[in-house]
A and B are shown apart, each in its own frame.
Chain A
């Protein structure tokens, strides 16, 4: 079992890409000499900064507008292709929520490119090729992962599914049944209930970033709806490919042109998601769900800024110090290490460029310590606002960020996927280098100012899933408590 679930890279919630060759000389990180470090007390060890120039992928735009990033890597006889598509569930018709997701699922399972569903599955699995296709809230994605000997056939199958999915009626029906079963099982796990209800409290239940499918919306869907959604939203000029592995660039481009080259441009949907109008701050909103559990599953937070906001770097570092950096963070040390009240505890700043971000704190704790944990959360955000972080905390946050930077380039696929993501989000190629420079220059006054502006006790939304009459009482001191009654079927 894990003591914590994985460490992030530098600042959680950041997309970390930049030039590693650029040596940022943080005093405490590089005070050592180049020679053999003296073994002994690890607390006083110092090392040279990591020098590394990651390889630069090629970017090619096909005649039909499809963007392709390529980076060769011949260590293993494998090729990986990822496809990022400008489609998503923000496009779901209001009476057919879940359509985008279902379309993605059946593009994969329903056959295509002249092959039946059974033929696709059988052929891929016989040569151990992996193909995935899915459509999420703000993008669609597909991938092909094959031994290099299988690239031509793998690409044919992938392209067939993306361009001419067959949407086999039996597979559509199966996908609907599975989606309905998924809805029936939504209330099984307290952790997923609290996450979904928290999102609905933040964005409102009908907002594209929070809304959910229902038995009605799934039942209503027809094969024609899937065909139409695919036809209207999936176009080569809305796609960015990332290709890495054991291939030769010219041959790969020829292979891609062969399977995608004659695909005509279409009208790519615009990714625009409405902001939630901000209500006048008053008392925190407190909601609970009654479920038989041994712990109270807690989320506290509110909507936040987008990634291109000028305050982003300062707020991200504030969040890192507050609760974003696991072992190093204040919430981990206070709630877990010192008080022993939770296993998984922290805060997170989740931002993108297309909709408002979310800042949240989370923990699971036994019923009797629920109130204490919430009090610690509130006290810790008040402290972030009231006083500057210490010089040590800021230096540690900067060092962790700068020194772990190399892991953003740990593989060719990591390098390529960063570039794909930045382009998809309309961010400059050097966006992360800019962030990195800002991190290095950041002052504790800027961190505090960002905390004051963007960590707002008066705007807190608190959602708890737990059991017993005592839960609403434990919550009562924090705001106006109301119960969320779950419907039995999602």
Chain B
């Protein structure tokens, strides 16, 4: 998934990346993706891309009856199924999207949506175990002991000054019991069995992602393996078992360190977003705060699953070599047995109006970078489409305004970017501008230059040629978006989940097409104000020791 507006140019080519031309999937499997950045951007960015690319005319150009090719089916339990037949190759891509994400989390349990996504790979009462009946009581006790152990350790940490002898003894005793139970439970585990089955049957692209708005599960398979998929996924939707819970919590902590703590851009965006949202859940990093992750319990995680993972909150999109009638019958036979979940709690908190500029700094052992964000309405509000146009005019391509001015003419920055829907679209969000300064120019100079361009949007109308370029690119990118089965499945499920109707793909381009130069001026003037903005700056913090001046890298004893 997209994307971070590229904060860092000068992409490093690792020597083993030389095969990237030959086998891009290899890189993905290892996470060596210098220009990608998931997580915070997961959902919003795709929405942004799509709301810019989708267009009735282009769809018509692509295929006279594209809209007619999407087959919809709704099960009695509320599950929505979208299908597109494509018979060129005997494969199918499937995307299951649940309307749940970080936005649904409570204080003290941040990261629970993402941790559940990891747990969803641990199997069911059938898959991933040699004997669930024997495993279950051990897992239950392990959860009780683990929860108690977490609690005791937190109490000692909160109190400060270390544990008393009694407390230490209690914790050690719990730890001993905990490890014994973990070993006992481990005897029944068949590690990663679900993934193994997919792989054995030729599955590729097995993956999942959690964003602020949505949680998504993906796989592509030879199309005659659909019964395998239905058996695995309906079982996982109905009967997941949270085995290996505490080990996976450790994995997620390493993921947090990798993506947020050790990544300058990761930490900058985490800090930026949480400064911009003081009340709403969009301010919380999807992966969760470290302390919360380490306090999540099996009971809370299971409760989260029961609340948010009903078939009535799910959309399944299948694109490829399928027979829709057979697929519907298959899904009815399997997923159809799962009861609908009761309505989930509604989202309550609304971000209060921002009443003054907010500025934050992140000190990091890295060169400077800049993020600026303005609060704005989201999908469904007419101004949202105007921001899509502004986004393209400012930063889409080498002829975009920010690239021309800041990168080429003034040479203040190596790269600039923007994003019209950070960090999600299910609630009012941010229009974000990013820039990487070109030394010796500072973030302050770059920031000033960005504001000049923002002011220009308020003062002079965008040209007809710029508006036409935006639409031409929308139309072409839309057609390009139809190229891959997995991409199309992803887009259909995404819009169904966030807009309630995949046809939003069609209407959003129409809306963008109606945006006028006057709209752009009005929206820029209304939202791009000093008091509505948050600015985050990455500030260089050097470890004197590792940057002693030398002419090249030397090995020292």
Chain A contact residues, CB within 8 Å of chain B: 1-9, 12-15, 28-29, 36-37, 39-43, 45, 47-48, 50-52, 54, 73, 75-78, 84, 109, 121-122, 125-128, 136-139, 141, 145-147, 174, 177-179, 181-192, 195-197, 199-200, 203, 205, 209-210, 214, 287, 289-295, 297, 325-328, 332-333, 336-344, 346, 348, 350, 352, 358, 360, 362, 364-366, 396, 399-400, 402-407, 409-411, 421, 482-488
Contact = CB atoms under 8 A, between A and B. Distances in A.
Nearest to B260: A294
A214 B552 contact: yes
26 contacts: A4-B207, A5-B30, A39-B231, A39-B333, A43-B197, A45-B201, A50-B90, A51-B90, A128-B477, A137-B15, A139-B21, A141-B21, A178-B414, A188-B366, A287-B555, A290-B543, A326-B29, A336-B251, A340-B248, A340-B249, A343-B251, A343-B252, A403-B202, A404-B204, A407-B91, A483-B556
Nearest to B545: A290
A39 B233 CA distance: 12
B88 A75 contact: yes
Contact of A39 (B204, B230, B408): B230
A177 B28 CA distance: 30
B398 A121 contact: yes
B468 A327 contact: no
A50 B553 contact: no
Top 3 nearest A-B pairs by Cβ distance?
Answer: A182-B10, A403-B202, A340-B250
A7 B30 CA distance: 9
Interface string B58-70: 0001110000000
B16 A358 contact: yes
B109 to A, nearest CB: 16
B472 A127 contact: yes
Contact of A343 (B235, B258, B365): B258
A6 B25 contact: yes
Interface string B232-248: 10010000000010111
Interface in B250-277: 250-255, 257-259, 261-264
A201 B287 CA distance: 35
Contact of A13 (B23, B114, B230): B23
A118 to B, nearest CB: 8
A81 to B, nearest CB: 14
B365 A125 contact: no
Contacts of B174: none
Nearest to A186: B12
A402 B200 CA distance: 9
A184 B367 contact: yes
B34 interface: yes
Contacts of A297: 262
Interface in B59-98: 61-63, 86, 88-91
A490 to B, nearest CB: 9
Listed residue (B8, B91, B436, B476) with the most chain A CB atoms within 10 angstroms of its CB: B476
Given A4-B207, A340-B248, A364-B257, 13 more contacts: A2-B209, A50-B90, A128-B469, A174-B408, A185-B10, A292-B365, A294-B261, A337-B191, A339-B247, A360-B16, A396-B200, A403-B222, A488-B549
B551 interface: yes
B38 A121 contact: no
A5 B206 CA distance: 9
Nearest to B551: A487
Best-buried of A29, A42, A187, A326 by chain B (most CB within 10 Å): A42
Contact of B479 (A147, A336, A360, A486): A147
Interface in B506-557: 541, 543, 545-557
A179 B207 contact: no
B483 A109 contact: no
Nearest to A324: B29
A40 B21 CA distance: 41
Contact of B62 (A45, A77, A136, A407): A77
B438 interface: yes
B227 A348 contact: no
Interface in B469-523: 469, 472-473, 475-477, 479-480, 482-485
B62 A76 contact: yes
A136 B21 contact: yes
Contacts of B255: 1, 343
Contact of B90 (A52, A190, A199): A52
A84 B22 CA distance: 11
A487 B38 contact: no
Nearest to B206: A7
A400 B255 CA distance: 27
Nearest to A36: B227
Indicate the size class of the contact surface on chain B: 35 or more
Contacts of A402: 202
Contact of A294 (B193, B207, B262): B262
Contact of A190 (B262, B469, B477, B552): B262
B258 A344 contact: yes
A77 B25 contact: no
B268 to A, nearest CB: 11
Interface string B170-188: 0000000000000000100
Given A341-B250, A486-B546, A145 B439 contact: no
Given A1-B39, A333-B191, A48 B224 contact: yes
A272 to B, nearest CB: 15
B192 interface: yes
Interface in B436-470: 436, 438-439, 465, 468-469
B254 A209 contact: no
A351 to B, nearest CB: 8
Given A125-B397, A294-B261, A2 B32 contact: no
A406 B13 contact: no
Contacts of B264: 188-189
Contacts of B91: 406-407, 410
Interface of B: 8-16, 18-19, 21-23, 25-26, 28-34, 38-39, 42, 61-63, 86, 88-91, 114, 117-118, 121, 126-127, 186, 191-193, 195-197, 199-210, 220, 222, 224-225, 227-228, 230-232, 235, 244, 246-255, 257-259, 261-264, 286-287, 330, 333-334, 364-367, 397-399, 407-408, 411, 414, 436, 438-439, 465, 468-469, 472-473, 475-477, 479-480, 482-485, 541, 543, 545-557
A411 to B, nearest CB: 7
A486 B547 contact: yes
A228 B323 CA distance: 57
A365 B253 CA distance: 10
Contacts of B365: 187-188, 291-292
Given A128-B476, A181-B9, A52 B224 contact: no
A7 B16 contact: no
Contacts of B9: 178, 181-182
Contacts of B549: 487-488
A399 B200 contact: yes
A5 B28 contact: yes
Contact of A348 (B26, B367, B408, B556): B26
A52 B196 CA distance: 24
Nearest to B200: A399
B254 A342 contact: yes
Nearest to A150: B476
Contact of B473 (A28, A40, A78, A128): A128
A1 B42 contact: yes
Contacts of A192: 12, 14, 34
Contacts of B18: 136-138, 209, 350, 352
A47 B192 contact: no
Contacts of B12: 182, 186, 189, 192, 195-196
A125 B395 CA distance: 12
Nearest to B485: A410
Contacts of A128: 469, 472-473, 475-477
A328 B29 contact: no
B181 to A, nearest CB: 15
A8 B25 contact: yes
Contact of A178 (B10, B209, B220, B263): B10
